[in-house]
Amino acid sequence: MAFWSRTKPLGGGELAAHHTLKRTLSWPHLVALGVGAIVGMGIYVLIGEAAGMAGPAVMISFAVVAAVCACVALAYSELATMMPVSGGAYSYSYAALGELAAWIIGWALILEYSVAASAVAVGWSGYVNSFLQSIGLDLPAALTSGPNHADMIGFFQGMGLPIPNPAYDAGEAASGIVNLPAIVIIFVVAGLLIIGARESANVNNVLVAIKLIALIAFIVLALPVFNAAHFEPLAPYGWGSVEQGGGKVGMMAAAALIFFAFYGFDAVSTAAEETKNPGRNMVIGIVGSMVVCAALYMAVAAAALGAMRHEGFKDAAAPLAFILEHIGRADAARIISAAVIVAVPSVILALMYGQSRIFFVMSRDGLLPQSVGRVHGRFGTPVGMTIVTAIACSVLAGFLPLAEIAYLANAGTLAAFTAVAVAMMVMRVKAPRAERPFRTPMAWVVGPLAVIGCLYLFTSLKSSTIVAFFCWMGVGLVVYFLYGVRKSALAHA
């Protein structure tokens, strides 16, 4: 059988004990995992930048992304209940589309989870700095942010290499050397993940509760000063996505950025192998977390824009805290920042959980070295892969700026989401009689809408991000043809 058409059985096949994960999670853990992954820096940090790109029309940007993600979530639910194994979109692609497609999606997922976890760690670090400054403590700037684009451009020029994005002015003020708080939180989370899935999930439940309470408190405090005039004009930068000043503005450009605020429910699908009664609990986890977060995001965005015009908070490092200070609630701003500091690591936990499981299942399939894919005898978790994930994420978080990281994470996620929708439709043709505990309603409407929506959001990303994504995928193909195609477990079956 040709390597590109090698497929895995729906259930994943028989596995050795040291490559099998323990089933310890129920639906409350999954909903909390999904909400924990979705609600994070996207709403706490990127809401400001997105509002600066779209104006009040950012509300519609949220609705558009929610609609696309809802379609994808339904496709995920069907495939996750058909194939209750680790790996999410990677495993579904392996069964439906073949090994080469699976590798491409797995490589995109590595980008998604690593970069997204790093972006959240960078945003968390910003809130730490904001909170400490509010109580009179200042950390050294050199240790609280990575090099900005001016620093990176100088480095590339010094090496005689092409400038990654000439649109950035090399005369920008220098920033820090390394974002130390971001690196520290990544390794703290990695330690928690090593202890065990259920233990980390229980901690995650508490963190998610704190995070939701903080957002609800923001809404309650901001609504009394709501001013409908702040929503005029509704779309000052247009409805589409247009180039302006080295970047893109418009409602759809903002949607392409705040897409980062919505995904995370796919991390739930990577937990299928560790879920009790996955046919029921996976659907509740994926769809339930998506519905909760979409409603909450719309309410937070409305409260933020009603309390302050978008021009006022578009450049704030901690927009929600900034808005509360503006309306005279500095005490509440400090409490919100403290809640973010305590609770947002749940996002990093969920994303690193997904990343380590993607690494794990790819190594189990032989496409990555199997030596680091073994499950620890005591903890029942892939310790080696968790450590590798932490190292990769810490490097990204320590040295790269937040917005660029978020855009690149979006590219990887959109590729994976597109593949899931395609895989769902392909399996309807290839295995029409296969058991489906959950069936996507109107599959031949939902599937194409998910694909079209994801592709449109992808093209709305910055040109430099799209180029960087395809460069990453090119590296992945080289790795596959040099290693994976020969080492694949199916090649020796």
Domain harbouring 336, CATH code: 1.20.1740.10
Q: What is the pLDDT of residue 451?
A: 96
Do 340 and 213 contact (CB within 8 A), yes or no? no
Domain extent for 348:
22-144+179-462
Query: What pLDDT, on a 0 to 100 scale, did the predictor assign at position 41?
Result: 61
Asked, for residue 166, whether it belongs to a domain, the answer is no
Q: Residue 157's pLDDT is what?
A: 46
Question: Residue 158: what pLDDT?
Answer: 45
**Domain assignment present for 408:** yes
The confidence score (pLDDT) of residue 1 equals 56
Could you tell me if 333 and 105 are in contact, meaning their C-beta atoms sit under 8 angstroms apart? Answer: no
In this prediction, residue 387 carries a pLDDT of 85
Q: Kindly report each contact of residues 198-204 with a partner whose C-beta sits within 8 Å and lies 24 or more positions away, as own/partner.
A: 198/24, 198/25, 198/29, 200/349, 200/353, 201/24, 201/25, 201/29, 201/32, 201/33, 202/29, 203/349, 204/29, 204/32, 204/33, 204/36, 204/346, 204/349, 204/350
Count how many domains the chain has: 1
- What is the predicted pLDDT for the residue at 452? 95
Residue 308 lies in a domain: yes
- Domain membership of residue 333 (yes or no) is yes
CA–CA distance, 197 with 179 (Å, rounded to integer): 28
Is residue 469 in some structural domain? Answer: no
Q: Is the residue at 483 inside a domain? A: no
Q: Name the stretches of the chain with pLDDT < 70.
A: 1-5, 9-23, 40-42, 148-175, 196-201, 245-246, 263, 267, 270, 317, 372-381, 401-406, 493
Residue 482 lies in a domain: no
Asked, for residue 245, whether it belongs to a domain, the answer is yes
Model pTM?
0.76
